[in-house]
Amino acid sequence: MMTSLVLTVIGPDKPGLVELLAQAIADHQGNWLESGMSRLAGKFAGILITEVPADQADALTEALGKLEAQCGLKVVVERSADAPEEAGQSFTLELVGHDKPGIVREISQALAQRHINVERLSTELVSGSMSAELLFKASADLSASAEADLDDLQDALEGIASDLMVDITLNN
């Protein structure tokens, strides 16, 4: 029987961190399934799902815990409970506009009020092509129940876009 583990990792960025994680997982007959990892503000941060034989889960957790003393990499391990997939709607949100505080807060409030789930969120600051001003870009994969009113969400997002002076696009 296999056990799924969700790992969150953070530590000072340096070469070899992914290899250390991969080696620990391999040493415990694990399989690296999905991950998202980035260098952010000089830190290496990520999340990944691995699957290991049930009798190896505790030993892998212990081995991962030793990485903090070895290289400064903190690893939090959570056992995954596979939730049944609900039938619903999947869609994406794309946003671009001049950077200012509150963009993520405003968008996430509108989504939460309508019970929209954020499956993946990616944000970045980039230099504007015509000016040196920073542009905030966001891309999100979202899901909602089949009954969710996406027209209501579109209206709310259009109001937010106007207030924040950003462009927001929903795609099915």
pLDDT digits (tens, 9 = 90+) for 156-167: 999 999 999 999
Place of tokens 């499956």: 119
The reply to whether domains 2-79 and 88-171 share a CATH topology is yes
The domains of the chain are located at 2-79, 88-171
2-79: which CATH topology?
Answer: Alpha-Beta Plaits (3.30.70)
pLDDT digits (tens, 9 = 90+) for 98-130: 999 999 999 999 999 999 999 999 999 998 777
Q: What is the pLDDT of residues 77-96, one digit of tens each?
A: 999 876 666 679 999 999 99
Interhelix angle for 17-27 vs 57-65, to 10°? 150
Determine whether domain 88-171 maps to CATH 1.10.3720.10: no
Whether the Cβ atoms of residue 154 and residue 107 lie closer than 8 Å to each other: no
